[in-house]
């Protein structure tokens, strides 16, 4: 009888999957279209993008061709100094949060003064939430 692995995905796999997702969404390609071009199911693309399944090099080449980019474009996140790499990995991990890309896309279309107000509102809400959690644990 085999055991089900509960090991968390490697941060590098998560970062590469997030880079694939960002590129796919940037060019307006669906998971289904990418899957068709790579000869896999859209569920497999989801697993790659979430980092739950590792992307083999040959599959990465297929994905890059389908996304009309170079393999190195998807791997740029791994270049640079240790601090920069850690920051990039953190950013790509955060971009996996449901709704993050949609929110960022909408945010980019806002005028600067509205962006500033929105950031202040979100900071206020998160501060209130943190205060409420602290009060609940006391």
Using alpha carbons, list the distances in angstroms from residue 65 to 24, 46, 48, 62, 68: 11, 18, 16, 5, 5
CATH of residue 58's domain is 1.10.260.40
Residue 118 lies in a domain: no
Predicted pLDDT at 18: 86
How far is CA 106 from its chain centroid? 17
Q: Give the domain range for residue 27.
A: 11-96
Take residue 116 and report the two structure tokens written for it.
């500033």
Number of domains comprising the chain: 1
Burial class (CB in 10 A: 0-12, 13-18, 19+), 5: exposed
pLDDT by residue for the chain (138 residues), tens only, comes to: 445 556 888 888 888 998 899 899 889 999 999 999 999 999 999 999 988 999 999 999 999 999 999 999 898 767 654 566 667 667 777 777 788 888 888 888 999 899 999 988 988 888 888 887 777 776
Q: Which residue has the tokens 């297929």?
A: 62
55 φ/ψ angles, rounded to the nearest 5 degrees: -95, 120
Per-residue confidence (pLDDT) for residue 4, from 0 to 100: 52
Q: Is residue 114 part of a domain?
A: no
């Amino acid at each position: 009888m085999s055991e089900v692995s509960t090991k968390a995905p490697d941060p590098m796999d998560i970062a590469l999957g997030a880079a694939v997702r960002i590129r796919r969404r940037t060019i307006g390609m669906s998971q289904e279209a990418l899957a068709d071009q790579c000869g896999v199911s859209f569920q497999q693309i989801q697993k790659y993008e979430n980092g739950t399944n590792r992307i083999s090099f040959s599959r990465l080449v297929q994905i890059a061709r389908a996304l009309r980019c170079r393999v190195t474009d998807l791997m740029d996140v791994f270049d640079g100094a240790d601090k920069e790499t850690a920051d990039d990995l953190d950013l790509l991990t955060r971009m996996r949060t449901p709704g993050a890309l949609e929110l960022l896309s909408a945010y980019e279309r806002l005028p600067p003064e509205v962006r500033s107000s929105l950031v202040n509102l979100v900071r206020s809400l998160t501060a209130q939430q943190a205060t409420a959690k602290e009060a609940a644990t006391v």
